[in-house]
Structure 1
């Protein structure tokens, strides 16, 4: 039978492993949320750029994607207003 110090060591090791898995899981969730948010932003940016290109009209630029749009719109339209 295992002694008390050995049981304590195994218990601590198991706790550390569980804590590690929980931390990894939380990081994965954070990464998934970030990627999902990025994909939603990219989809709306693509739509806005497509509207600008096809109709040659200006659309509102939101604060969150104005920097990206300013850089990308030069490639699509040739100039940024």
Structure 2
């Protein structure tokens, strides 16, 4: 937790205020990245055919991977 706080530029006490345990922090990270991935899946509802939906989803996932490069490691 000390390394995470230092990387984020926060005092460790501030990090522990919002995330009292490593599990709490990990669950929040997983929850946030899953929300992003699920939002990317919205393209399936708008697609005219499965191939279009898959193409749009994969394109969206590539963009997400560029912005959240460690998301797949969660």
**Shorter-normalised TM range:** 0.3 to 0.5
Return the index of the structure with the highest Cα Rg: 1
TM-score (norm 1): 0.37
